[in-house]
């Protein structure tokens, strides 16, 4: 019996890419691959790329340059590029990077076994189609191997919003929702393998329509699965937060009190230029309704500073919105152009202006986040322990509110939700003691 081939996967970007990397590894597992943590002993290296950040394609070419010596030393090594950069730049990657053997887009990776056969026979393989066949129909069932206590589960892909700064509609395609029955089956397989918490993923997850009751209906059905302790979802659009989903935050015990709801700007003029189709006022009113349903919910958001045409007045409107909402977590970035998007054609703001605004915005967000971290001291929270900590008998896990929490606990607590009283708060984590 021949030794298994080894697969090294490097994942960039969002949680959906983490999920996709797992599914690609499973597909190639049927080809005789086992995963390895080091590229040096791999028979195939797969880069699962993200196109959200600036100069994403150039970063991929730089990584390919670093991998070239491995290919020179082992001509049998196969190198692949997957994900959104592959979708956007597929033919160019094949032209510019002879070291690459295969390029596969995020909607086509169910075809990896056939592509692997092709490259093993000496061909190069490119597939960046938006195929008619549903990749989830082709993907194998999840394996029974023991899993970490938390996992991602894609339920929706693509986006129809066409925000002026975003490439997702071009790289991931139109909105598509997986049928609820298939999502629930995959969730059961994950729970059987030891998963206690699922994060439902989608580029616009709350637009999910694979269940008659929308995302809320899916959440209620998933909550019936024995052994599934926690449910989360990300990333949402304000325009798709319906009444049923808001109510679920107050009524479904397994839906955690954490919500990532990007707003991007607090200026109505900039929101219109971004094609967001909501206003700062409508966003704030939505937050009020969500907090009325679940008063202790921790809110997270996304912010872009320096969008083309943003004035100091526009920026101050964003700062005012942040002060009004009070975020427990947030992600903030300087605007950067994405070729092919409407905003890329507009005059860009000076770099020093964007840097100054980002620093001021991040200082405010950090102040809010630390205040909320500090407010957790003295409270009891549920913590799903996931792994050993760095010190002695400590374990680390995530609270109901997605805070990282350290506590002395037995190894048997890994995979369990335990009550913890928070005693210390640091910039990035909380410390506590078991109370059950």
Dihedral sign, Cα of residue 151, residue 157, residue 159, residue 163? positive
Report the SS3 class of residue 97: coil
323 versus 31: the higher-pLDDT residue is: 323
Tokens matching residue 411 = 């190894």
CA-CA distance, 349 to 68, in Å (whole number)? 37
**Among 99-108, 141-150, 173-182, 418-427, the least confident range:** 141-150
pTM: 0.86
Please name which of 425, 427, 426, 385 lies closest in space to residue 407, comparing C-alpha atoms: 385
State how far the alpha carbon of 238 is from the alpha carbons of 231, 244, 245, 263, 283, in Å: 19, 14, 12, 7, 7
Sorted by where each starts, the structural domains of the chain and their CATH numbers stand as 5-127 (3.40.50.12160), 135-375 (3.80.30.20), 380-434 (2.40.50)
CB 204 within 8 A of CB 235: yes
Do 127 and 104 form a contact (C-beta atoms < 8 A)? yes
Task: State the average pLDDT over residues 205-211.
Answer: 97
**Residue 252 annotated as binding?**
no
Residues 29-86 pLDDT 10s: 989 999 999 999 999 999 999 876 667 778 888 999 999 999 999 999 999 999 888 8
pLDDT of 135 over the 70 cut: no
The fraction of the chain above a pLDDT of 90, given in percent, is 79
Q: Which of 157-171, 280-294, 348-362 is predicted least confidently? A: 157-171
Query: In the predicted model, is pLDDT for residue 323 greater than 80?
Result: yes
How far is the C-alpha of 111 from the C-alpha of 247, rounded, in Å?
A: 40
For the segment 263-292, what is each residue's pLDDT rounded down to a tens digit?
999 999 999 999 999 999 999 999 999 999
Check pLDDT > 70 for residue 334. Answer: yes
Lowest mean pLDDT among 54-68, 102-116, 156-170, 367-381: 54-68
Q: What is the band of 378 on the pLDDT scale with cuts at 50, 70, 90?
A: very high
**Is residue 97 over pLDDT 90?**
yes
Could you tell me the sign of the dihedral formed by the alpha carbons of 365, 371, 377, 381, in that order? negative
Residue identified by tokens 């000076």 is 350
Q: What is the pLDDT of residue 84?
A: 87
Residue 326, Cβ neighbours under 10 Å: how many? Answer: 14
Across 372-394, average pLDDT: 94
The confidence score (pLDDT) of residue 142 equals 60
Banded model confidence at residue 418, pLDDT cuts 50, 70, 90? very high
Contact 70, 45 (CB under 8 A): yes
Tell me the average pLDDT across 6-26. Answer: 90
Tokens of 59: 């970063």
pLDDT score at 140: 61
Closest CA to 290 of 318, 260, 250, 239: 250
pLDDT tens digits, 113-134: 999 999 999 999 999 887 666 6
């Amino acid at each position: 019996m021949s030794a298994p081939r080894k697969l090294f996967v490097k994942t960039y970007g969002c949680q959906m890419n983490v999920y996709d990397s797992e599914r690609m590894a499973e597909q190639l597992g049927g080809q005789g691959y086992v995963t390895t943590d080091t590229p040096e002993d791999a028979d195939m290296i797969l880069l699962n790329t993200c196109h959200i950040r600036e100069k994403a394609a150039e970063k991929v070419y730089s990584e390919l340059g670093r991998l070239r010596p491995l290919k020179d030393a082992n001509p049998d090594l196969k190198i692949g590029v997957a994900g959104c950069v592959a979708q956007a730049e597929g033919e160019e990657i094949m032209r510019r990077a002879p070291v690459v053997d295969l390029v596969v887009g995020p909607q086509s990776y169910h075809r990896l076994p056939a592509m692997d056969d092709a490259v093993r026979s000496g061909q190069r393989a490119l597939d960046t189609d938006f195929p008619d066949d549903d990749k989830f129909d082709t993907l194998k069932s999840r394996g029974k191997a023991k899993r970490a206590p938390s996992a991602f589960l894609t339920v929706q892909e693509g986006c129809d919003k066409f925000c002026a700064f975003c490439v997702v509609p071009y790289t991931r395609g139109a909105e598509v929702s997986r049928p609820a029955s298939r999502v629930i089956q995959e969730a059961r397989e994950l729970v059987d393998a030891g998963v206690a918490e699922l994060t439902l993923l989608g580029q616009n997850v709350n637009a999910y329509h694979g269940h008659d009751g929308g995302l809320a209906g899916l959440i209620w059905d998933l909550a019936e699965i024995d052994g599934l302790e926690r449910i989360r979802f990300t990333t949402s659009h304000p325009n798709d937060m319906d009444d049923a989903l808001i109510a679920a935050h107050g009524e479904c015990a397994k839906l955690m009190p954490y919500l990532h709801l990007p707003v991007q700007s607090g200026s109505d003029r900039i929101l219109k230029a971004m094609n967001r189709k909501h206003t700062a006022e409508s966003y704030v009113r939505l937050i009020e309704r969500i907090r009325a349903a679940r008063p202790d919910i921790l809110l997270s958001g996304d912010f872009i500073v320096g969008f083309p045409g943003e004035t100091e007045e526009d920026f101050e409107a964003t700062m005012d919105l942040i002060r009004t909402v009070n975020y427990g977590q947030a992600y903030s970035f300087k605007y950067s152009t994405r070729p092919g998007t409407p905003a890329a054609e507009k005059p860009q703001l000076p770099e020093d202006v964007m840097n100054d605004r980002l620093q001021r915005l991040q200082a405010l967000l950090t102040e809010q986040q630390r205040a909320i971290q500090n407010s957790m001291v003295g409270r009891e929270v549920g913590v799903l322990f996931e792994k050993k900590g760095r010190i002695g008998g400590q374990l680390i896990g995530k609270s109901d509110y997605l805070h990282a929490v350290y506590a002395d606990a037995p190894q048997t607590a890994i995979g369990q939700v335990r009550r913890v009283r928070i005693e210390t708060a640091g910039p990035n984590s909380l410390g506590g003691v078991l109370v059950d």
